[in-house]
């Protein structure tokens, strides 16, 4: 690693051998996501044995030795906010990372800070100053300047040192297993993106009827196919809000389709026939085979969920402050509503609520279910405290 930027395959292979010998490595990437179907990997950064090095993926064509390391069970890979790194690994290798550590997640388990920037975590844990992120850099352009390389290497410079401190404190607190469970959950969540019905993530679906959901599904798949073929971001082919509009309007001719505002562009004349075909295909689906809303409680129940969920949110916030763990990591508003549906309304068709399993159950499971069952009274114990509420179980 005589040079901070590796451009030769042989040097990269030697680096991977050093990583295997070390057993632990800091890892980060630089990428550009605005112009291609998937984010374009533009730089890889590593730190081992107190040294940092970057790898140019435009020069080093075979990165498989690294993906093999990332997916083995003997090398600890330490990242910060590493969802994109997991996506790259999953895309290029077809497998999930095995021993991944995320500093951001670890900090949320040992403190109330989540998410937290790399600059902030370096300052907090090490009292050091990391270089500011090159957020406006086009990392695809070559040659890279020395300043760009320096900024990129700063992103891995302190990573292993921070993890060693976090690891010791988590072990002392009895929370190391909590953190490891969260690392795995993050990996599994990213991996699920490659399997689930991603069309259901389109905003505004809750207002649509089943037939309109079928149209969304067909158009979403069509858009994804075109985006892959053209290697463009899917939303550049057709925005999400226009998918919703087409599902509602259900155009049957090209003229009907391009009459929709923002669809009268030149490129739409070429794409319109296939879009019309997909809409017609959705219209022909038998009624009993139409997609349904995953979660569709009645309006009154939905309102009650919101109110009860907010009450639980107060209890959860107080509990997280009391034991110094990040509430945003423990449970979201959606998690609280899921608990309400499961425990209050007896809707057990979904998997058991996340707040009732694993380390989250240790943190707040009994507290929240006892609040729902009326087994707990609440009072203000110390107005000056960051967790002023006191919960007492009733006789």
pLDDT by position in tens, the chain (length 395): 557 999 999 999 999 999 999 999 999 999 999 999 999 999 999 999 999 999 999 999 999 999 999 999 999 999 999 999 999 999 999 999 999 999 999 999 999 999 999 999 999 999 999 876 666 789 999 999 999 999 999 999 999 999 999 999 999 999 999 999 999 999 999 999 887 788 998 999 988 999 999 999 999 999 999 999 999 999 999 999 999 999 999 999 999 998 888 888 877 888 999 999 999 999 999 999 999 987 554 556 678 888 899 999 999 999 999 999 999 999 999 999 999 999 998 888 778 999 999 999 999 988 999 999 999 887 888 887 888 888 887 76
| Tokens at 233, concatenated | 């971001």
Around Cβ 17, how many Cβ atoms within 10 Å? 12
Instruction: Give the domain ranges of the chain.
Output: 5-192, 198-289, 299-393
Evaluate whether 5-192 and 198-289 have a shared fold. no
Query: Which of the 8 DSSP states describes residue 131?
Result: P
Q: How far apart are the C-alpha atoms of 316 and 309, rounded to whole Å?
A: 10
Whether the Cβ atoms of residue 28 and residue 80 lie closer than 8 Å to each other: yes
Q: What is the dihedral of CA 122, 127, 128, 130, to 10 degrees?
A: 30
Is CATH 3.30.420.10 what the domain over 5-192 is classified as, yes or no? yes
Which of the listed CATH numbers 2.70.70.10, 3.60.15.10, 3.20.80.10, 1.10.150.80 matches domain 299-393?
1.10.150.80
CATH of domain 198-289: 1.10.150.80
Around Cβ 196, how many Cβ atoms within 10 Å? 11
Strand partners, 47: 26, 52
């Amino acid at each position: 690693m005589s040079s901070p930027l590796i451009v030769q395959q042989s040097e990269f292979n030697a680096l991977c051998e050093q990583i295997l010998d070390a057993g632990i490595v800091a890892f980060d990437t630089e990428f550009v996501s605005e112009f291609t179907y998937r984010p374009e990997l533009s730089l890889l950064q590593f730190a081992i044995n107190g040294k940092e090095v970057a790898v140019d993926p435009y020069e080093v064509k075979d990165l498989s030795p690294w993906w093999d390391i990332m997916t083995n069970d003997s090398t600890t890979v330490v990242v910060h906010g590493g969802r994109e790194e997991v996506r790259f690994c999953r895309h290029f290798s077809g497998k999930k990372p095995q021993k991944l550590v995320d500093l951001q997640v670890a900090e949320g388990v040992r403190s109330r800070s989540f998410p937290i920037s790399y600059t902030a975590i370096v300052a907090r844990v090490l009292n050091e100053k990391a270089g500011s992120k090159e957020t406006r850099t086009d990392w695809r352009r070559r040659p890279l300047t020395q300043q760009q390389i320096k900024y990129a290497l700063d992103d891995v410079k302190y990573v292993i040192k921070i993890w060693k401190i976090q690891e010791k404190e988590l072990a002392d607190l009895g929370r190391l297993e909590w953190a490891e469970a969260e690392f795995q959950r993050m990996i599994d969540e990213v991996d699920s993106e490659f399997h689930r019905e991603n069309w259901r993530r389109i905003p505004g679906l809750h207002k649509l009827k089943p037939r309109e959901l079928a149209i969304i599904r067909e158009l979403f798949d069509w858009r994804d196919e075109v985006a892959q073929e053209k290697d463009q971001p899917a939303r550049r082919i057709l925005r999400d809000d226009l998918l919703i509009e087409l599902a509602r309007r259900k155009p049957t001719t090209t003229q009907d389709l391009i009459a929709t505002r923002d669809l009268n562009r030149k490129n739409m004349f070429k794409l319109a026939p296939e879009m019309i075909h997909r809409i017609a295909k959705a219209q022909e689906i038998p009624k009993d085979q139409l997609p349904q809303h995953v979660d569709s409680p009645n309006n009154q129940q939905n309102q009650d969920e919101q109110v009860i969920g907010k009450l639980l949110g107060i209890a959860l916030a107080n509990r997280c402050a009391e034991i110094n763990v990040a509430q945003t990591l423990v449970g979201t508003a959606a998690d609280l509503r899921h608990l309400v549906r499961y425990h209050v309304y007896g809707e057990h068709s979904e998997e058991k609520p996340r707040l009732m399993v694993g380390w989250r159950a240790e943190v707040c499971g009994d507290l929240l279910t006892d609040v729902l069952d009326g087994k707990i009274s609440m009072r203000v114990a110390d107005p000056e405290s960051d967790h002023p509420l006191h919960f007492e179980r009733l006789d």
